[in-house]
Structure formats: C-alpha cells, structure tokens
C-alpha cells in the first residue's frame, strides 16, 4: 500500500512542478506587460514634454518632429498594451494626463535631469522594444518565485 502511494506521489510531482512553472510564467508575463506599459506611458510623457520644450526654445523642426513621432509611437503602444490588459480607455486617458502633468513639473524644475533619466531608456524602448522586454523579463524572473 505504501508503495502505491509512493508511486502515485512520484508520478504527480512532475505535474505539480509543471503547473507551478506555468503559474510563474504567467506572473512574469503580467509583470513584463505592466512594466512595459508603464515605460511607454513614461516615454510618451517625456517625448511630449521634450517636444514642447524644444519647440519653445526654437530648436530645429526636424528635432521637434522626431520627438513628436516618438511620442505618438509610445502612446499607441501604451494604449495597445493597456487594452490587452483590460484597462478602461478613460482610465488610461486620465493616467496619461496625470503623467504628462507630472513630467511638466519635473521638466520645469530640472529638464536635464529628466532627460538624463528618461532619454536613453525611451530611445531604446522605441527603437528596440525587445531589449526592454528582456530587461523586465530578467528582472521578473529574479523577483517572482
């Protein structure tokens, strides 16, 4: 009788491990999506504020246009991911408005610090989103057990 229980237990252990791994994978995938969506929101806000700042400073139209295009790309992906995650469009619009206001305040205090914090990360996100996805995947794998 003990042998039967032992055999059943041994046969079930791989199922428990596989189920546990699938749960972990889902949690990591959710973590990645939430953080990438937040990154796109941050980058939209950064590009929007930067474009407006450069426009007021009389910078070249091509620079301003490039920033505005990057803002548009970031906003599109922000909303696409939010939709996949089931976020309400009105909630996303309010989040976007709040984040832009936050970045305007940060830019008014210290634009160079804002640019240093978000410039390269946002450039990388827009030009190579897979790299940022790997970043969040690696971070998620470390903290999600």
* Percent of the chain topping pLDDT 90: 70
According to DSSP, residue 139 is labeled H
DSSP SS3 for 1? coil
Give the residue carrying structure tokens 């936050």.
102
For residue 144, the model assigns a pLDDT of 86
Q: Is the CA virtual torsion 58, 61, 65, 67 positive or negative?
A: negative
Per-residue pLDDT band for 125 (boundaries 50, 70, 90) equals very high
Per-residue exposure over 26-43, b if at least 16 CB sit within 10 Å of its own CB, e if not: eebeebbbebbbebbbbb
DSSP SS3 for 39? helix
Per-residue pLDDT band for 145 (boundaries 50, 70, 90) equals confident
For residue 101, the model assigns a pLDDT of 96
Give 45's contacts (C-beta < 8 A, 6+ positions apart).
96, 99, 100, 102, 103
DSSP SS3 for 82? helix
Instruction: Return mean pLDDT, the chain.
Output: 86
pLDDT at 95 over 60: yes
Judged by average pLDDT, the poorest of 11-20, 25-34, 74-83, 135-144 is 11-20
**Cα–Cα distance measured from residue 65 to residue 59, given in angstroms and rounded to the nearest whole number:** 10
Number of C-beta neighbours around residue 85 at 10 A: 12
Higher pLDDT, 48 or 2: 48
Radius of gyration of the chain (CA): 22
For residue 17, the model assigns a pLDDT of 44
Q: Which pTM does this prediction carry?
A: 0.83
Give per-residue pLDDT as tens, 12-42.
445 444 445 678 888 988 999 999 999 999 9
């Amino acid at each position: 009788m003990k042998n039967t229980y032992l055999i059943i237990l041994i046969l079930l252990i791989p199922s428990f491990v596989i189920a546990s791994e699938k749960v972990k994978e889902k949690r990591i995938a959710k973590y990645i999506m939430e953080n990438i969506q937040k990154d796109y929101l941050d980058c939209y806000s950064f590009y929007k504020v930067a474009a407006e700042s450069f426009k007021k400073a009389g910078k070249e139209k091509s620079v301003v246009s490039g920033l505005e295009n990057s803002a548009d790309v970031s906003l599109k992906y922000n909303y696409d991911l939010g939709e996949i995650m089931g976020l309400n469009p009105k909630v996303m619009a309010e989040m976007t408005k709040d984040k832009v206001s936050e970045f305007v305040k940060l830019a008014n205090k210290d634009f160079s610090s804002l640019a240093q914090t978000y410039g390269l990360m946002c450039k990388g996100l827009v030009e190579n989103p897979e790299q940022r996805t790997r970043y969040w995947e690696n971070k998620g794998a470390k903290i999600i057990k």
